[in-house]
Structure 1
Amino acid sequence: MSNKKFNVNIDPDMIKRNLRKIIWGFVIIIVAFSSIHTVGPEEEGVVIQMGKYNRTVPPGLNFTWPFGIERMHKIPVQRQLKQEFGFRTGTAGQHSSYVKEGYVGESTMLTGDLNLTDVEWVVQYRISDSYKYLFKVRNADKTLRDMSEAAMRKIVGDRTVNEVLTVGRQEIASSVEQLLQELCNEYENGIRIDQVVLQDVNPPDPVKPSFNAVNEAQQERETLINQAEADYNRIIPRARGEALETIELAEAYALNRVNRAKGEAERFISLYEAYIKAPEVTKQRIYLETMEKILPKLENKVIVDEKGNNVLPLLNLDKKGGSEK
Structure 2
Amino acid sequence: TGDENIVDVGFKVLWRIKNTRDGINDYLFNIQEPAATVKAVAESAMREVVGGSNIDAILTENRVSIQNDVATLMQTTLDAYRAGIEIAEVQMQRVDPPAQVIDAFRDVQAARADQERIRNQAEAYANQIVPEARGKAAQVLEAANAYKEQTIAEATGQSQRFTKIYEQYRNAPDVTRERIYLETLEKVLGTNNKIIIDSQTSGSGVLPFLPLNDLNGRSAAPAARTGGN
Shared fold per TM-score greater than 0.5? yes
Matches within 5 A, 1:27-42: none
Q: Deviations over 1:208-265 (max 9, x none)?
A: 1111111111111111111112212222222222222221222222122212221222
Q: Deviations over 1:171-200 (max 9, x none)?
A: 322322332233234333333333322212
- Number of residues of Structure 1 aligned to a counterpart in Structure 2: 212
Residue 312 of structure 1 deviates from its aligned partner by: 4.7
Which amino acid in structure 2 is aligned with residue 261 of structure 1? A
Which amino acid in structure 2 is aligned with residue 124 of structure 1? L
- SS of residue in 1 equivalent to 2:7: strand
Distance 2:215 2:38 in 1: 115
Give the unaligned 5+ runs of structure 2: 222-229
Residue 307 of structure 1 deviates from its aligned partner by: 9.3
- SS of residue in 1 equivalent to 2:4: coil
Would you tell me which structure has more strand in proportion to its own residues?
A: 1
Q: 2:195 aligns with which of 302, 305, 313?
A: 302
Matching residue of 1:9: none
Would you tell me which structure has more helix in proportion to its own residues?
A: 2
CA contact (8 A) 1:180 1:193 kept: yes
Cα distance change on mapping 1:280 and 1:143 into 2, 3 Å: same
Identity, % of aligned positions: 39
Matching residue of 1:128: 18
Q: 2:135 aligns with which of 241, 254, 261?
A: 241
Distance 1:168 1:278 in 2: 97
Which amino acid in structure 2 is aligned with residue 303 of structure 1? I
Q: 1:261 aligns with which of 152, 155, 162?
A: 155
Matched, 1:161 2:71: no
Name the structure, 1 or 2, with higher relative contact order (CA <8 Å, separation 6+): 2
Q: 1:141 aligns with which of 35, 39, 43?
A: 35
Residue 308 of structure 1 deviates from its aligned partner by: 10
Matching residue of 1:54: none
Cα distance change on mapping 1:224 and 1:127 into 2, 3 Å: same
CA contact (8 A) 1:302 1:311 kept: no
Matches within 5 A, 1:1-325: 111-129=1-19, 130-131=23-24, 132-298=26-192, 300-304=193-197, 311-313=208-210, 315-316=212-213, 323=220
Which amino acid in structure 2 is aligned with residue 162 of structure 1? D
Using the size of structure 2 for normalisation, the TM-score is 0.78
Using the size of structure 1 for normalisation, the TM-score is 0.57
CA contact (8 A) 2:194 2:213 kept: no
Distance 1:291 1:215 in 2: 85
RMSD: 2.9
Distance 2:215 2:84 in 1: 118
Residue 168 of structure 1 deviates from its aligned partner by: 3.6
Matching residue of 2:225: none
Cα distance change on mapping 1:306 and 1:254 into 2, 3 Å: farther
